[in-house]
Structure 1
């Protein structure tokens, strides 16, 4: 059975702290070409800032107003563990229209993130594998 731990991004995990400002968040999203930033305190997940959160904040704040990640982050973030079956994570993402699920350890420490992009890459791998099998079956016939 495929697990979240086999597909998640764990290296070069890009995160924010609660006190970092939204300009830094925007810069990180742009530089790393990502849409989700876990917010951590002492290595533990405390929130999530998305590209959509930044757009909403930009539309609602005065140009001179400086906001921190803690001002816009979602605090009640649904998470999974690395041993969560991929099938369960996909269902959770689809049912709730989540673009990502942070992956945490038993102690609440952030260990990775699984995103729609990770799932699409996995789907691509499965499709390529099915195509190879189909071609092999045609060749044998």
Structure 2
């Protein structure tokens, strides 16, 4: 049985707790990622910025202040105003099975799940893209 360890992304793009919405917005554009874990200096997960929360906050700022003020307002907005606290985030372990986590993704409509070790340190992230990549690999194998 496949485990999360075999499909999770380990080259992580993260933010520190003092980051701003502007930092997150730029990082998602530059790095091509949709979800940004916020970690402390030891790698412990503090919160998670989802694409949905990021877009929602940017649209809110655009509506309230207009496009000319967006960059300034983003730089004044703490990432803590946007991110979902770690206590409220679903999380998984690297040893969880892909089957169980896939079912969880479907039932709860998550776009990503942080993968933590026993001490709460972020060691990976699993996204819906990881599952699509796995499906493509399995389909290629069956075509032979």
| TM-based fold match above 0.5 | yes
Aligned partners of 1:112 and 1:130: how far apart in 2? 28
Unaligned runs of 5+ in 1: 133-141
Count of paired positions: 131
| Worse overlay, 81-90 or 63-72 | 63-72
Match of 1:120 in 2: 132
State the partner residue of 2:79.
69
| Corresponding position of 1:136 | none
Per the TM alignment, residue 51 of structure 1 is displaced from its structure 2 partner at its CA by 2.1
Q: TM-score, normalised by structure 2?
A: 0.86
Farther-moved stretch of structure 1 (54-63 vs 24-33): 54-63
Superposition RMSD on alpha carbons, in Å? 1.2
Consecutive unaligned residues in structure 2, runs of 5 or more: none
Corresponding residue for residue 24 of structure 1? 23
Aligned to 1:9: 9
Larger Rg: 1
Residue in 2 that maps onto 1:37: 36
Aligned to 1:95: 107
Where do residues 105-116 of structure 1 align in structure 2 (5 Å cutoff)? 105-116=117-128
The TM-score, its normalising length taken from structure 1, stands at 0.88
